[in-house]
Homo-oligomer: A and B are copies of this chain.
């Protein structure tokens, strides 16, 4: 089945909004990029906010697929899976010249005070990121890799913030240093301190 017009608009919008933010994204530019008919936007979306919710769903679908790929790498220990995920993200950002940052973190920063539906949806997405970390950290504890005294859920919540901060910092340092510092300290000093290195 060929990609429908709505899907093309969402995909183009996700890319443009990632670079320019919610407010900086023009709807006509999105339609042009998606090769969708001029004026067709409101046929598919009630509002720009409704459109942004579809963009977030699109990112969420990608995130679910990507994390599932790492969660199911049976040949790796839980912490090695987490490390592989982070190193993969670092390489993706390196290829982009450390631009753009996280589309979800960006929109949270930009729209957290301006749209209640977007705020609530972004909050749920960041909870999903924490759930991904939580699952791996808990598995790491069961495997004896992670300090048993850590509250897996809280540490996951803490580390999602640290991860978002590292991505933001990557954008201002234009280097991978913030992610390398994240990797070293989150793993060696917090998660597996005193345990075998991953």
Quick check: is A83 within 8 A (CB to CB) of the other chain? no
CA distance A164 to B182 in the complex (A): 13
**Interface membership of chain A positions 13-42, coded 1 if the CB is closer than 8 angstroms to chain B and 0 otherwise:** 000000101011000000000000000000
Is A168 within 8 A of B23, CB to CB?
A: no
- Neighbour of A150 across the interface among B21, B113, B165, B189, CB < 8 A: B189
Interface class of chain A by DSSP:
helix
List A residues 159-184 near B (Cβ within 8 Å): 159-166, 168-169, 171-174, 178, 181-182, 184
Given contacts A126-B172, A157-B181, A173-B123, contact A21 B166 (CB under 8 A): no
Which one of B24, B108, B186 lies within 8 Å of A158 (CB-CB)?
A: B186
Given A158-B185, A160-B169, 18 additional A-B pairs, CB 8 A: A19-B113, A101-B109, A105-B165, A108-B171, A109-B109, A112-B168, A112-B172, A113-B171, A123-B173, A126-B172, A154-B181, A154-B184, A157-B181, A158-B181, A158-B189, A161-B181, A164-B168, A193-B193
User: Would you give 18 A-B contacts (Cβ < 8 Å), ordered by A?
Assistant: A21-B23, A99-B113, A105-B109, A105-B168, A106-B109, A109-B109, A112-B172, A150-B189, A154-B184, A155-B185, A158-B189, A161-B162, A161-B166, A161-B169, A161-B182, A163-B165, A165-B166, A168-B168
